[in-house]
Structure 1
Amino acid sequence: MVSLHCVILLANQEVPVADQSNNALKKLLHTLLLTAVCFLFMNAAKAQFIKGADIGWLPQMEASGYIFYDSTGTQRDCLEILKDHGINTLRLRVWVEPSNDRVNGHCSKKEVAALAVRAKNMGMRVMVDFHYSDTWADPGHQAIPSAWVNDNFNQLLDHLYLHTFQVLDTLKLLGVRTEWAQVGNEISSGMLWPEGSTSNWSQLGALLNKGYEAVKAVDSSTKVVLHLDQGNDNYRFRAFFDSAENHHVKYDIIGLSYYPYWLGTDYTLSVGDLGSNMDDISERYNKEVMVVETGGNHLLAQNTYDMLKAVMKKTAEVPNGKGLGVMYWEPEGEAAWSGYPLNCWGPDGKPTSALNAFLFNPLGVKTINSEQEDFFYPNPSDGKLLHLDLKKLSGLCVIRVLSVNGMLLAENSFESNSTIPLSLGLKPGIYAIQLNNKGNTTCRKLIVR
């Protein structure tokens, strides 16, 4: 096997212009160099890393007249802004018979279907989160929907199956592929209380399996997620999923919530436990894992940015590629509108810098575009200053400077539509300059003399 350093050496030999065969060889080696350097920055990824957002409030925000702006101050569709910041997946919660309260209601079957179609049209992936309630279901609230409250247990099973099937079948008929379906939301103490409490695992197991069966009846390829809170608490997860195994519960993926804010400590004190828990449960139960909810204080954008990158990194490091991705719970839910402090949207209607964390790809590049023309000059360079030519692009651009062994040396974000000077301070050698724009990545070799 040719080593990376051999490729670099060969790719930079002076070749006579008239020697066409050598020119072809040099072009090939040049491409190999770009590929090798860029892919050294990534863990071998078998699929796109999930970078998601739960956006259940969005339709009501729009209906109330809320206007979204990108970082340049241009009014745009919120989904476009999220996509420009690296979001590739939408998580949509669905309630059974919700109220019309703009914050604590809506998310009906019809409204979820409309939002799912928008997601599909934007080229985004879709997860449906079944709360099996008329409003919030979480560790402290798992109320049976009002229409099911007088059910006996067999009727409750039938209602759960029918509701799950109808929602997913409607999306299927609309041409939306549901890649993941969450059967219950933060169910560490069970769901549909009291019948589905963890104090009655035989019934909880039956309810979970009924949901699984409904999901697979619509599309056998849809992955079923079981979701618990406090993703840093290994004991909590072992207790639940050991019981699930003992009661023969069927599922595909373990979903985790991780909110340092609600733990009352900085993420640096618990993100290691999150990573250790994901490593443990992925091996113990032989399941893929996904952080399906996280978020940070909107007033501490840098801290939230750092937390998100740390969570994505821990997820990507789960052995055997079993860490699938990370989702933010209501990034667009600006505090003055929602009253929720863990969004990443400012009072000016623009996303905060925290959202830029989703431009970071812990698995490396999504694509390497070898045909696109160079986006910087001069090359070769003296290593002090480059000029970035971003005039033909739109939206946010992330520029990364990589060493020949794949080490990230610098990372900067810029708005496109201009030529931008970039100070470097690089020593003589070979580097890779990586451009990420709207999820596509171009990588170019830079020679510093």
Structure 2
Amino acid sequence: MRGKRRFTLAVAASVISLGAAQAESAKPPIYLGVDISYANEMDDCGAVYKAGGKAVDQYQFFRAAGANTARIRIWNDPDWTTYSNLADVKRSLGRAKAAGLQVLLDFHYSDDWADGDKQVAPKAWAKLSTPDQAKALYAFTHDTLIELNREGLMPDLVQVGNETNGEIVSSLAKAKEPIHWDRNALLFNAGIKAVRDAGRETGTKPRVMLHIAQPENAEPWFEAATKAGITDYDVIGLSYYSKWSKRSMAQLGQTINRLRHTYAADVLVVETAYPFTTENADASPNLLGEDSLIAGYPATADGQRRYLVDLTQLVLSSGGTGVFYWEPAWVSTKTCGTRWGKGSNWENAAVFDFKGQTLGSAEGWLKHAYVRPVEVTFKAKATTEAAFIDGDFLDGVGPRPMTREGEAFIYRTRLAPGSSVTVAAAATAAAVAEAPAVTASIGDRAASVPLPEQP
């Protein structure tokens, strides 16, 4: 919006209260998920999880606790481990579906960890030309999904890359260079097309997610991606860890709100975690320590629960569609470890204590009675060739185009019940700041807000 103060002063004496008189519609779905890609390895290592004094299966536990989605990673050819390859992923997806969970399959497009600092090409693709890498990426994605579908394991959502802040299918050296967007777009669009084609061929419609680490990186990345021609996706996933982010929780909410109004995609936090202690159960160093704490959320089971509840409510109130916890069951075992030490780097951020007993934080988070946003439709009579809308609910994104539907221009969004918004529309983006506006109080049901006719 051009000058929020100026816009607010232009408000007409028109106030609308919404809620009781409006017809209620179905609440928008939300994802409450857990990334338990380590589950098979943990079970093979002898990890035991308990709830109510009884041993529980990880997938069954999280489903009963209130999760609705499991996130599972897949590497191309990880010759350093027997996990997160296709065979292991089949085992994971089978367990998830048996527990009644949706699945988000997370393609790393690497033989090892791909994240915000590195996107190392699989060894089989490393010496290929960019066009041939795009063909290989397409084939790997498409063929994996077709094979999973044959076994009744088609995922509901698919990530085309993991924390793809830098150029994908690259190298450690190139991770320090600016992104070559012509190349990056060719690779991304190959992966997206593979998901769409596999969905069409199997009669399924897995949703496509693109994933960026830390909210401060998301807006510049998606702006550049759009200019490069990467537009066919359904969900924007963000990682949010206070240790590695420059944004507060409140700023995360503002980022989510701007992203969802700028792009035709749902937005969610697909990775987060919080420690219940800063102590260590093994010799492997904890990744989340004192440097990961946020004021008001101590490193306790209750602090962990309150962080998750507050973060999830913030995401939903900002128009986001959910939160995933990264590796809530990566506990320490005596027999297994990582390349960085025996045990786990995350046991103090699991949702089970050092003896494998549930802390109650997962159940408290997943079963919390969240206030969900409601559908709000802004409607202006179609008296011009085009219409643009602006309002304080857009968080400074600026005027957005409205969609012509019959004799009206429409803009649909989700807003938090109890909030108040000031909105105006005009025939051009430049004219919105001077247009008459309405202030609407949002109730707890779906609503339609009529906007003033233009003089």
2:101 is matched with 124
1:293 and 1:124 mapped to 2: Cα distance?
Answer: 17
Match of 2:239 among 257, 260, 266: 257
Secondary structure in structure 2 of the residue aligned to 1:224: strand
Bigger drift between 339-348 and 272-281 goes to 339-348
Q: Is residue 281 of structure 2 the alignment partner of residue 281 of structure 1?
A: no
After superposition, the Cα gap between the structure-2 partners of 1:289 and 1:326, relative to the gap in structure 1 and judged at 3 Å, is: same
What's the offset of the Cα at 1:343?
2.2
Q: Is residue 367 of structure 2 the alignment partner of residue 344 of structure 1?
A: no
Greater fraction of residues in helix: 1
Q: Residues 52-82 of structure 1: CA distance to partner in whole angstroms, max 9, x if unpaired? A: 0111111011111111211x11012111111
Q: Residues 69-106 of structure 1: CA distance to partner in whole angstroms, max 9, x if unpaired? A: 11x110121111111211110000000111344xxx62
1:425 is matched with none
2:229 is matched with 248
Runs of 4+ in 1 over 6 A off after TM superposition: none
2:198 and 2:124 mapped to 1: Cα distance?
Answer: 23
1:86 is matched with 66
Alignment check: 8 A CA contact 1:271 1:310 kept: no
Q: Residues 270-321 of structure 1: CA distance to partner in whole angstroms, max 9, x if unpaired? A: 11111100000110123211111010113122222111111211221234xx
Q: TM-score, normalised by structure 2?
A: 0.65
Q: Residues 17-96 of structure 1: matches in 2 within 5 Å?
A: 46-70=27-51, 72-96=52-76
Alignment check: 8 A CA contact 1:169 1:218 kept: yes
Q: TM-score, normalised by structure 1?
A: 0.65
Match of 2:198 among 218, 236, 240: 218
2:256 partner amino acid: M
1:328 and 1:258 mapped to 2: Cα distance?
Answer: 10
After superposition, the Cα gap between the structure-2 partners of 1:278 and 1:364, relative to the gap in structure 1 and judged at 3 Å, is: closer
Task: Choose between structure 1 and 2 for higher RCO, CA contacts under 8 A separated by at least 6 residues.
Answer: 2
Q: Percent identity?
A: 28
Q: Residues 309-340 of structure 1: CA distance to partner in whole angstroms, max 9, x if unpaired? A: 11211221234xxx221100000111454222
Secondary structure in structure 1 of the residue aligned to 2:71: strand
Secondary structure in structure 2 of the residue aligned to 1:219: helix
RMSD: 2.6
1:310 is matched with 310
1:213 and 1:77 mapped to 2: Cα distance?
Answer: 36
Equivalences, count: 314
1:275 and 1:303 mapped to 2: Cα distance?
Answer: 20
2:294 is matched with none
1:44 and 1:178 mapped to 2: Cα distance?
Answer: 28
2:86 and 2:371 mapped to 1: Cα distance?
Answer: 35
2:359 and 2:143 mapped to 1: Cα distance?
Answer: 37
2:351 and 2:167 mapped to 1: Cα distance?
Answer: 30
Q: Is residue 321 of structure 2 the alignment partner of residue 324 of structure 1?
A: yes
Q: Is residue 163 of structure 2 the alignment partner of residue 163 of structure 1?
A: no
Match of 1:227 among 193, 211, 224: 211
What's the offset of the Cα at 1:121?
1.2
Alignment check: 8 A CA contact 1:182 1:226 kept: yes
1:363 and 1:223 mapped to 2: Cα distance?
Answer: 25
After superposition, the Cα gap between the structure-2 partners of 1:309 and 1:171, relative to the gap in structure 1 and judged at 3 Å, is: same
After superposition, the Cα gap between the structure-2 partners of 1:246 and 1:262, relative to the gap in structure 1 and judged at 3 Å, is: closer
Q: Residues 143-158 of structure 1: matches in 2 within 5 Å?
A: 143-158=120-135
